[in-house]
Amino acid sequence: MSAESLTLNDGSAAARAEEMPLQVRSRSFTAVVLKVTGAADAGFFASLDSLMRQAPHFFVNAPLVLDLEQATDLQVKGDFVKLVRELRARRLSPIAIQNASADQGIAAFGAGLITLQGGRDVPTERRGRAAEAAPAASEPEPESEPAAASLLITEPVRSGQRIFADRGDLIVNASVSSGAELVAHGSIHIYGPMRGRALAGVNGDKSARIFCQSLEAELIAIAGLYLTSDDLGPTVRKKRVQAFLRDQTLCVEPLK
């Protein structure tokens, strides 16, 4: 049994705050993954209890995902119901399973667990501290380096190309063509004409910003809130601007 973390993504649609009575956002959360080996028997719960005594804060309030890759014994709904009840009794919050067979998926669904795909490991030690400070933190977490490294692009970004800065900022020191896409967990800086799309703070970082030397973008988005070229008026079009979030609104202002 081992504990690790993954990132959940709850949707990709975005809505603008002032127009809708509800808001749909894409946001990532960190969850703890519990690898279940063999059957969920007394031995399993004994090791779990011992682990929880060693790191009492590690699991508190964190969503729990069960990895069933090595748990072929778990097949029927009754087992999952029992497992969920035992985990909840330990103040753990199982929400989903992964690496499961189709039958396991159906059985677990009956016990109120959904099947997740994908996910990405982050260091458990850092995850532990994050759990202590703020449960279910939504900040982007650097994977290994202490400081988030930025990605520098010096060649023109052509139509159809997609540049993804999976940690920190994205800096483009060239033009970005219509039909190209820049995506970053942090801020995006463009020092050439910006004619494509720029999505900053895709992990939910509301402090992310977009800086343009000449804004001619098709779309800009920060933490799921977006504006299209139709929304960009003549005061900012083809100007040096920055885009940022202020009170749930995406603002674009000329740089002085």
Partner 1 sequence: MAKIIVVTSGKGGVGKTTSTAAIGAGLAMRGHKTVVIDFDVGLRNLDMIMGCERRVVFDFINVIQGDAKLKQALIKDRRLENLAILPTSQTRDKDALTREGVGKVLDELREDFDYIICDSPAGIERGAYLAMYYADEAVVVTNPEVSSVRDSDRVLGLLSSKTHLAEKGEGGVKSHLLLTRYDPKRVASGEMMKVEDILEILSIPLLGIIPESTAVLKASNVGTPVTFDTKSNAGKAYEDAVSRLDGEQIEMRIKPERPGLFQRLLRRTA
Residues that bind partner 1 (CB under 8 A): 155-161, 174-175, 177-180, 193, 195
Is-contact 238 215, C-beta < 8 A?
yes
Q: Which residue, chain included where needed, has tokens 């970082």?
A: 205
Query: Least Å distance between CB 199 and partner 1?
Result: 19
Is-contact 139 126, C-beta < 8 A?
no
Query: Least Å distance between CB 236 and partner 1?
Result: 20
Q: How far apart are CA 164 and CA 170, in angstroms?
A: 8
Query: Least Å distance between CB 194 and partner 1?
Result: 12
Q: How far apart are CA 49 and CA 64, in angstroms?
A: 15
Q: Closest Cα partner for 149 from 120, 181, 129, 171?
A: 171
| Joined tokens for residue 168 | 């920190």
Residue closer to partner 1 (CB basis): 107 or 180? 180
Residue closer to partner 1 (CB basis): 86 or 216? 216
Residue closer to partner 1 (CB basis): 73 or 155? 155
Query: Least Å distance between CB 169 and partner 1?
Result: 22
Query: Least Å distance between CB 91 and partner 1?
Result: 50
Residue closer to partner 1 (CB basis): 217 or 223? 217
Residue closer to partner 1 (CB basis): 132 or 155? 155
Residue closer to partner 1 (CB basis): 31 or 182? 182
